[in-house]
Amino acid sequence: MRTVTTLAVLALALAAGTLARAGDSKTFDREVSAEPHGVVEISNTAGEVQVSGWDRSDVSIHASLDDDVDRVEVTSSPGRTVIKVILPAHSWHGGEAHLRVQVPKDSELRVSTVSADTNITGVTGIQRLNAVSGNVTTDIAGADLELKTVSGDIKVKGRGLPAQLRITSVSGDVHLQNGGGSLEANTVSGTLVASLEGAKSVVARTTSGDMHLDAKLTRGASFEATTVSGDLEVRASADGGYAYEVSTFSGDITDCFGGQQAQKGYVGHSLSGSRGDGAGRMRLKTMSGDVQLCDRT
């Protein structure tokens, strides 16, 4: 049993954050040419993936790899760059790879991880992101986004530009700030928080997770939010107004509009009405979750 180490090594390891990993990592650096609107695919199991967009027509990769990681494989063909972290076959302890990748900012970016967290900035092209338990954080600028996790939390920051946004998680929380265009968002038990500018179509669904939706809708927009037992809070405004129908089986309905009371049927409550000219359409449904509908200020 080895017991001898020096205090300096221990101190350095403490500062680095992981005593056990002192001296256990290797690095990888590579740069390849890439087309400005090409596809960049990155896959990693554990660790981290950080991607940033730049103005150069190159893909640059810097990685810190645990000893348990076999290698990083980079293949480059016209219009496509693929970066894969390769673990040894039958690896019984997943090694971590911390990737920092710079890509042409208009690239179509595809990232797939298991437990590695993903962090993306400055990429303005289409993004298709998958993670199992890793968290995903990204910013978007008018291009389509397809983002899926199993348990990882999701944070998306937009610029209010129209795009097709599909965000799904099984149990992760979803936070979307300043989205726009068309949103389809699903989580079973996570919390869904979204703010939207110029939204044309919104379909939001949870089973037990709460939803907090803040939306400025375009004229004639369609907005639908459904949950079984989560609570639903909606703040909305729309060009031309919107007609709304709120229904719940056993939850409560409150609105900020004053005057109209929810109708109590034999079973359940409902509330319907319109704001402004009623050009858009809003449907809010729950089984037992409470619903609150107010104007967006």
Of 238-297, binders to other proteins (CB under 8 A) are: 245, 247-250, 263-270, 283, 285-288
Strands 58-66 and 25-33: what pairing?
A: antiparallel
Residue 170 CB neighbour total at 10 angstroms: 16
Residue 183 CB neighbour total at 10 angstroms: 25
Which region among 28-36, 43-51, 215-223, 231-239 touches other proteins (by CB under 8 A)?
Answer: 43-51
Cα separation of 172 and 275, whole Å? 33
The contacts of residue 259 (CB under 8 Å, 6+ apart) are none
116 near other proteins (CB under 8 A) = yes
Residue 227: helix, strand or coil by DSSP? strand
**Comparison of 124 and 130: residue with beta carbon closer to other proteins:** 130
**Comparison of 102 and 248: residue with beta carbon closer to other proteins:** 248
Cα separation of 102 and 52, whole Å? 5
Of 207, 116, 141, 110, nearest to 168 by C-alpha is: 207
Number of residues that bind other proteins (CB under 8 A): 83
Q: How far is the CB of 197 from other proteins (least distance, A)?
A: 27
Q: How far is the CB of 37 from other proteins (least distance, A)?
A: 18
Encoded amino acid at 275, one letter: R
Of 216, 210, 179, nearest to 288 by C-alpha is: 210
Residue pair 142/123 in contact (Cβ under 8 Å)? The answer is no
Which region among 29-37, 156-164, 210-218, 225-233 touches other proteins (by CB under 8 A)?
Answer: 225-233
Can you tell me which of 76, 164, 171, 177 binds other proteins, judged by CB under 8 A?
A: 171
Of 54-113, binders to other proteins (CB under 8 A) are: 67-71, 82, 84-85, 88-93, 110, 112-113
**Comparison of 21 and 157: residue with beta carbon closer to other proteins:** 21
Per-residue contact string for residues 184-203; x = within reach of other proteins by CB under 8 A: --x-xx--------------
Of 134, 160, 163, 157, nearest to 48 by C-alpha is: 134
What are the C-alpha distances in Å from 11 to residues 20, 64, 66, 96, 144? 12, 21, 20, 23, 46
**Comparison of 239 and 252: residue with beta carbon closer to other proteins:** 252
Of 205-224, binders to other proteins (CB under 8 A) are: 205, 207-208
Cα separation of 58 and 52, whole Å? 12
Can you tell me which of 62, 114, 252, 290 binds other proteins, judged by CB under 8 A?
A: 114
Q: How far is the CB of 266 from other proteins (least distance, A)?
A: 5
Which region among 158-166, 182-190, 192-200, 234-242 touches other proteins (by CB under 8 A)?
Answer: 182-190
Of 121-140, binders to other proteins (CB under 8 A) are: 128, 130-133
Of 141-160, binders to other proteins (CB under 8 A) are: 148, 150-152
